Amino acid sequence: MNQATNIEIDEQQRMPLLFVGHGNPMYAIEDNEFSYSWKLLGETLPRPKAILCISAHWETNGTFVTAMSHPQTIHDFGGFPKELFAVEYPALGNPELAFKAKKLIKQTDVQLDQKWGLDHGAWSVIKNMYPKADIPVVQLSLDYNKSPQYHYELAKELQSLRDKGILIIGSGNLVHNLRLVAWDKMNDQEFGYGWANQANDIFKNLISEHNHQSLINYTSLGKEVQMAIPSPDHFLPLLYILALQKDNETISFFNDKAVMGSLTMTSVKIG
């Protein structure tokens, strides 16, 4: 095993939790307020031993965790400039962490994956946080057959990783409706439809109130939320982060803006 991937993960150091709105893949290579905040996170957070990322862009039949030593950079998008497709993020994997996650999760048989790599939900953010690619990264997939409650309960089984120097990141968007994007507002960093801003406020209030059950049952939260979450993929990573929250931990929001009408970049730091 590559020495850099053989990381001891038993040192006590409770890491914060992050849910990051990743938005447009171009933010990976653009200098803007969103990418700046990601860079600031990398400079101010305790340095992790490794990162476990739950990305909206890896949905699977069953649950998988990347277990290779050298994950590929996946360009899982289309219609963007060649400069974005040229980006490589050569962070190492961490087979030891992958196996640890597999052992911790009891409610399903997690499969060790050797094919996936790092999709743009992971590398577009982490590249800005750690531009030297010197923190190993492992991804955990989202089983598209399972309920929000299932994902929340599964996430709880990963709790001990926080105390072992592992930074857990959920990457998605609170409001994510690509069918209703205002393409003529791509350069307006603060344009959101009324329903999108209302849904975003509902989410923030429930997160602040530690009302996880209402967020798990988001389909009962009204029309605005249904428009904000036409499919669960970009919302489920938030539930993984909330499930790991301890009582009385500080909650803060950043990048709290709508873009292109029907997306919000609102992100959450816990701890």
Q: Are 71 and 117 in contact (CB under 8 A)?
A: yes
pLDDT per position as a tens digit, 232-251: 999 999 999 999 999 989 99
For 72-120, the DSSP string reads PBP----S--HHHHT--------HHHHHHHHHH--SS-PEEESS--B-H
Residue 119 to residue 199: CA distance in whole angstroms: 27
pLDDT per position as a tens digit, 26-64: 888 899 999 999 999 999 999 999 999 999 999 999 999
- Please state the pTM of the whole predicted model: 0.93
Residue type, 158: L
Residue 120 to residue 224: CA distance in whole angstroms: 27
User: To 10 degrees, the CA torsion angle through 106, 107, 111, 115?
Assistant: -120
Q: How confident is the model over 72-81, as a mean pLDDT?
A: 90
Enumerate the β-bridge partners of residue 253: 268
Residue 121 to residue 170: CA distance in whole angstroms: 9
Look at residue 176 and tell me whether its pLDDT is greater than 80.
yes
pLDDT value of residue 199: 98
> 3-state DSSP call for residue 202?
helix
- Helix (H) / strand (E) element for 268: namely strand 267-270
User: What's the CATH code of the domain at 97?
Assistant: 3.40.830.10
For the chain, what is the domain count?
Answer: 1
CA proximity to 163, closest of 209, 104, 113: 104
What is the pLDDT confidence band of residue 12, given thresholds at 50, 70 and 90? Answer: low
Backbone angles phi, psi at 140, to 5 degrees: -115, 130
| 150: containing domain | 3-270
Residue for token pair 């931990």: 249
Residue 182 to residue 192: CA distance in whole angstroms: 9
Residue type, 51: I
Residue 55 to residue 141: CA distance in whole angstroms: 7
Q: How confident is the model over 262-266, as a mean pLDDT?
A: 97
pLDDT value of residue 90: 98
Enumerate the β-bridge partners of residue 251: 270
pLDDT value of residue 3: 38
- Helix (H) / strand (E) element for 59: namely strand 50-60
Look at phi and psi of residue 14 and say left if phi exceeds 0, alpha if psi is from -120 to 50, else beta: beta
